[in-house]
Structure 1
Amino acid sequence: MSQTTAAPAAAPRSAAADTALVAVFAALIAASAVAPAVPVGALGVPITVQTLIIAFTGMCLGPLRGFLATALYVALGLIGLPIFSSFRGGIGVLAGPSAGYIIAFPLFALLVGLVARWALARLTGWRLWLGMFAGAVVASVVCVHLLGALGMAVNGGLPLGAAFAADALYYPGDIVKNALAAALAVTVHRAFPQLLTRRVLRAR
């Protein structure tokens, strides 16, 4: 008798594992707020390492889980936990000049996660790092910097042009942080190649 082999079947990731990863990366983002913040510009919106960790989160977890991890972090901060930069917390931060950046965090993780998923499916070697890095820079510009500047204009009372000029101070640091996040994420995906892919079970 001939024996047929069934086609490979994709097994969904464990919901428990996904939940654990979301919680762990949310805690990692919160822990990054402990690093000293450097106030910049007239409004004193600080340079932090949080955007590095958020980019890393999106690159490692992908769009949905990266968004959920970052949104969990933001939600916990808004309900009062002192996990934003300089140990701030509470809904009052949305009345400050950094509100636009905080709102942008989950969207940034989502966009970076989409880039990472695309890059992992098509690129290898140094091109994988370059693809993640370039995508994170673009996502940062169209999301974090745009909303951040608007937040400074609305809550800081700056003219729109002045707000975008103030935001430009953060570009060099963000480029460096996105490069580091991409390098770390590539290392993680080499060690855990199924982190953003579905496991395949072959019927026997």
Structure 2
Amino acid sequence: MTDAPQQPHAPAPTLEPAPVVRSSTAADVALVSTFAAFVAVCAVLPGIPTPSGVPITLQTFGVVLAGLVLGWRRGALAVGLYLAVGLAGLPVFAEGTGGLVVLTKPSVGYLLAFPFAAAVAGAFASRALRVRPAWRYAALVAAGLGASFLTIHPAGIAGLMARLGLSLPEAFAIDVVYWPGDVVKNLLAAAVALAVLRAFPDLLRTRR
């Protein structure tokens, strides 16, 4: 009597974890809120006073970094949220100030340009991140500097002229004082952005 041939056993089904459904809205809110708080921290750190009344702070570092990391829309929203909270009265602006009174200060142009700077930095960064890896850092630096010099500095000069009654050459001479520090902050922002995007590649896939 021969044994009946045994049928090969089918492989046991593997149990895979159910896909995690992520709420893009929740992620957006978390990222926007986090970077708004980060910009506030950068702003309230002790700055360097200047004769013009516009201190040198890390605000622009936080603003540009928000755009480079989050993209144009979320970057602008994060900085816009920071601006709204400060105008509502919380002391999150430079030197621990807040409220609508800041709109009367010489720094008003710089302040109001921040959301636009984050948006431009984010838009430029989206293109910068498509270049060859060896060139990405330089491209991100260029994105940050482009945003600064297309938005923050022109608006800052206009604010100085409006609030201090200066001519264009006089306001420009004051604004130039901030250029070296701005370059350094953009160099740092690009390095931090590149490190963050490498550590959290999901931010690249969900940029907006």
TM-score tier (shorter) = 0.7 to 0.9
Identity of aligned residues (%): 47
Give 1:34's aligned amino acid: V
The residue that corresponds to 2:186 in the other structure is: 178
Counterpart check, 1:19 vs 2:29 = yes
Show CA shifts across 1:145-200 (max 9, x none): 0000100000111111100111000000000000000000000111111203249x
- State which of 145, 156, 162 in structure 1 corresponds to 2:170: 162
- State which of 193, 196, 204 in structure 2 corresponds to 1:188: 196
In 2: Cα distance, 1:114 partner to 1:123 partner: 18
Show CA shifts across 1:12-69 (max 9, x none): 97111111100011011111123111112x3221000010111111111000000000
Q: Is the 8 A contact 1:133 1:179 kept in 2?
A: yes
In 1: Cα distance, 2:129 partner to 2:203 partner: 11
In structure 1, stretches of 5+ residues that fail to align are 1-10, 200-204
Q: Is the 8 A contact 1:149 1:164 kept in 2?
A: yes
The residue that corresponds to 1:152 in the other structure is: 160
Q: Is the 8 A contact 2:128 2:143 kept in 1?
A: no
Q: Secondary structure at the match of 2:204?
A: coil
- State which of 48, 52, 63 in structure 2 corresponds to 1:38: 48
In 1: Cα distance, 2:104 partner to 2:132 partner: 42
The residue that corresponds to 2:121 in the other structure is: 112
Bigger radius of gyration: 2
Higher strand share: 1
Q: Secondary structure at the match of 2:122?
A: helix
Show CA shifts across 1:79-98 (max 9, x none): 11000000000111111100
Over 3 Å counting, the alpha-carbon distance change for 1:102 and 1:198 in structure 2 is: closer
In 2: Cα distance, 1:163 partner to 1:50 partner: 20
- Structure possessing the higher relative contact order (Cα contacts under 8 Å, 6 or more residues apart): 1
Over 3 Å counting, the alpha-carbon distance change for 1:135 and 1:13 in structure 2 is: farther
In structure 2, stretches of 5+ residues that fail to align are 1-20
Give 2:205's aligned amino acid: T
Show CA shifts across 1:110-148 (max 9, x none): 0000111111123313x1110010121122111100000
Give 2:146's aligned amino acid: V
In 2: Cα distance, 1:198 partner to 1:93 partner: 35
Over 3 Å counting, the alpha-carbon distance change for 1:43 and 1:96 in structure 2 is: same
Give 4+ residue runs of structure 1 displaced > 2 Å after superposition: none
- State which of 98, 104, 113 in structure 2 corresponds to 1:95: 104
Number of aligned residue pairs: give it: 187
Q: TM-score, normalised by structure 1?
A: 0.88
- State which of 46, 58, 64 in structure 2 corresponds to 1:49: 58
Q: Is the 8 A contact 1:13 1:198 kept in 2?
A: no
Q: Secondary structure at the match of 1:186?
A: helix
Q: Secondary structure at the match of 2:63?
A: helix
Give 1:193's aligned amino acid: P
Counterpart check, 1:142 vs 2:168 = no
The residue that corresponds to 1:202 in the other structure is: none
Q: Over aligned residue pairs, what C-alpha RMSD do you find?
A: 1.6
In 2: Cα distance, 1:176 partner to 1:137 partner: 10
